[in-house]
Structure 1
Amino acid sequence: MAGDRDTLISMGFDPSRVDWALRATGHRGLQPAMDHLLEHEGEPIPDASASGGSSLASANTAQSTPAMDVDGDDDDAEALRHLIGKKGPVPAATAGDVEAKSIKCSVCEKTFKNTALANYHAEKSGHDQFEESTEEIKPLTEEERKTKLEELHQKLAAKRAVKAQEEAKEAKANEAIKRKQGKDLNKIKEELKAKEMIKEAEQKRKEKAEDAKARAAIKAQIEADKKARAEKAAREKALREGRPIVDSQSETNSGIPSSAAVASSSSGVAGKDFKDTRLQIRLASGGTPYTTTLPSDSTLHDVAEFVAAQTLSVSVDTVSFTQQFPRKTFSRADFNKSLRELGLTPSAVLIAS
């Protein structure tokens, strides 16, 4: 791998030997390549094509490891000219010239064994001023190699530690995001549940109020029916006994009105002062009664239209209304009279059939 190759070259190993070590170890990693370099130090580098490598690998190896021999090399000289730049062309070596044993960076004054290492330094540092040097770079001693290997291990361990910290930090951040999303989702669910509960409670209150109204109306009707039956029984008994029949709605012989007459009279007088009339309409066929509030000036025909709008079993033209107490059947002529005129204010119970 390019990363392992660059690391080994930065430690001072010859690029051609680094390539040999990586090929020989099958690119299994930094440690096997390092072990191979230490074990085969000083041994000649085998030909890459002879060992089964591709011609392209051989060419890459040859280009990456120009030799710094006494006689000079055209490729190495060309690379050196590129590095030296404004320093001018490299003079040809003569018998009286001093042999260049290394390349020196004029910026940081580091020396390198060959142009490959100098090129690597130029790419990493951005330095572009190099010159030939007679300083010979001595090979690393066993102790120096162990020290460099230890430094390498420490760098790798530090990189792994930094990476582990970054991964842990990222995992923690992701976990925090997940927890926040979970809290937000739970909050939304709780709000929806609370709204649903409020809606259900409101619906139950409404149904309870409607049930209470219906029960009150039924109870009032039962009481009215009971009273009507009692009055009927009293009249029949009076007929059997030969006593005069006293109408509950007329005044007695003493001039004192009966309780029913008083109630009817009181209701009629008070009804004139009510602007609206509350009606409960029961169907003769049964079912839930209908409750409505109409202006007291509305006609019985308006009531018929209301009932017809509530159920298909009632028609405006054929419907008839009766009142249990006081018992009364309204004619078609009464349909043009107002509720106030018919004595239905402020409230009344009608049976539609």
Structure 2
Amino acid sequence: MDKDVDTLVQMGWEKEYAEKALSETNHQGLEAAINCSTRVDDLGIDISTMKTLPQVPQSFVCEECGRPLRSNDDVELHSARTGHINFKESADKLKPLTDEEKQVQMRRLEEAIVRRKMKREEEERQKCLQDEKNRRLQGKASQSAKAMFREKMMRREAEQLKRDRAEDKAYREKLLAEIEAEKAERIAKQKGVHSKEIAPAAASQSEAKSPTSPAECRLQIRTPFGQPLRGTFKSSENLGAVVLYVSQNWPMHPDSATRTTINSREITLQTTFPNRKFDEEDLSKTLNELGLCPTAVLMARRNATF
């Protein structure tokens, strides 16, 4: 009983009025006491001393479709079924539901909750499927890009290998041709010396009729690594000029296309056909005197001093 009085006081009632209202209704509960508020004069209480009683909502109305709803459960059911979210309180009291109507309404509420849950699960499932589809498409695109890149690199490597082989073949053919030319020139020189020993007079006559010495000397100088050096010199230049040229164009390292300068005293030159190593005394001799005209192939080595 004291609890009902405290509740009415918390609702804004004066304690004296709450006690009289409960007593007047034989303590039948809060609802009876609130209904008794219409008989304030009968209780002999000055209404001017009472606090304003709060309005208790008797029902609710959906602001989106105007449907009246009895309770919070009806509001939840209506929201679950229609998706409406805007409701307001109403002082209109609706007819109470029968037990059968309450059971039907509860079943509808449960069914609506189940449908919303199934809809949410289906949306999540579709989202997962779409995410997986997007992931696979991205994976296929990435694999395709990688495959195209590998194919492009393989074609590029194959083309480079083909070019390298063609260059190697051309270089070998040129080298063989130069070797054959040197060999033929050496044989021709040896035959010329032999003819001079047998017939000095004939050799002198042949020398008189021989063409003049070439004015230029084309040399190919091979280093331990890198492309061979090629240069054209005057036949009257001495071998020291060739050594200086090699020192100023010595390759830096196998992977570099640039040249560097080294000390010319570190360079040694020689020929393979015939096998001859040039020493310090040969540096002052002309290329023509050394038999390197009109063309010759020289081998250059480093870390040797004259």
Shorter-chain TM-score category?
0.5 to 0.7
Instruction: Measure the CA separation in 2 of the matches of 1:141 and 1:93.
Output: 26
Cα displacement (A) at 1:144 = 5.1
Choose from 105, 108, 130 the match for 2:61: 105
Cα displacement (A) at 1:341 = 9.7
Unaligned runs of 5+ in 1: 1-69, 79-91, 239-243
Instruction: Measure the CA separation in 1 of the matches of 2:227 and 2:69.
Output: 108
Cα displacement (A) at 1:193 = 3.0
Unaligned runs of 5+ in 2: 13-32, 40-55, 252-262, 301-305
The answer as to whether partners of 2:57 and 2:89 remain within 8 angstroms in 1 is no
What residue in structure 2 maps to residue 294 of structure 1? 232
Residue 340 to residue 136, structure 1, CA distance change in 2 (3 Å): farther
Cα displacement (A) at 1:303 = 0.9
What residue in structure 2 maps to residue 172 of structure 1? 133
Instruction: Report the aligned-residue RMSD.
Output: 5.4
The answer as to whether partners of 1:103 and 1:115 remain within 8 angstroms in 2 is no
Residue 349 to residue 109, structure 1, CA distance change in 2 (3 Å): closer
Which residue identity is paired with 2:232?
L
What residue in structure 2 maps to residue 220 of structure 1? 181
Look up the SS of the partner of 1:93 in the other structure.
helix
What residue in structure 2 maps to residue 303 of structure 1? 242
Choose from 86, 89, 93 the match for 2:34: 93
Choose from 93, 116, 120 the match for 1:134: 93
The answer as to whether partners of 2:183 and 2:273 remain within 8 angstroms in 1 is no
Instruction: Measure the CA separation in 2 of the matches of 1:111 and 1:180.
Output: 56
Instruction: Measure the CA separation in 1 of the matches of 2:271 and 2:291.
Output: 13
What residue in structure 2 maps to residue 125 of structure 1? 85
Cα displacement (A) at 1:135 = 0.9
1:14-53 superposed matches below 5 A: none
Which residue identity is paired with 1:292?
R
Cα displacement (A) at 1:113 = 2.5
The answer as to whether partners of 1:281 and 1:349 remain within 8 angstroms in 2 is yes
What do the CA deviations read for 1:124-165 (whole angstroms, capped 9, x no partner)? 8244x4123321341435555545544444443333323222
Look up the SS of the partner of 2:172 in the other structure.
helix
What do the CA deviations read for 1:214-271 (whole angstroms, capped 9, x no partner)? 22222222222333444455566x3xxxxx34565x4259x9x4xxx3xxx16x3xx4
Segment of structure 1 superposing worse, 227-236 or 201-210: 227-236
Aligned-residue identity in percent:
15
What residue in structure 2 maps to residue 278 of structure 1? 218
Which residue identity is paired with 1:204?
R
1:332-343 superposed matches below 5 A: 332=281, 335=284
The answer as to whether partners of 1:105 and 1:111 remain within 8 angstroms in 2 is yes
**How many residue pairs end up in the alignment?**
239
TM-score (norm 1): 0.48
Instruction: Measure the CA separation in 1 of the matches of 2:107 and 2:34.
Output: 37
Residue 110 to residue 294, structure 1, CA distance change in 2 (3 Å): farther
Look up the SS of the partner of 1:125 in the other structure.
coil
What residue in structure 2 maps to residue 347 of structure 1? 295
Instruction: Measure the CA separation in 2 of the matches of 1:74 and 1:215.
Output: 121
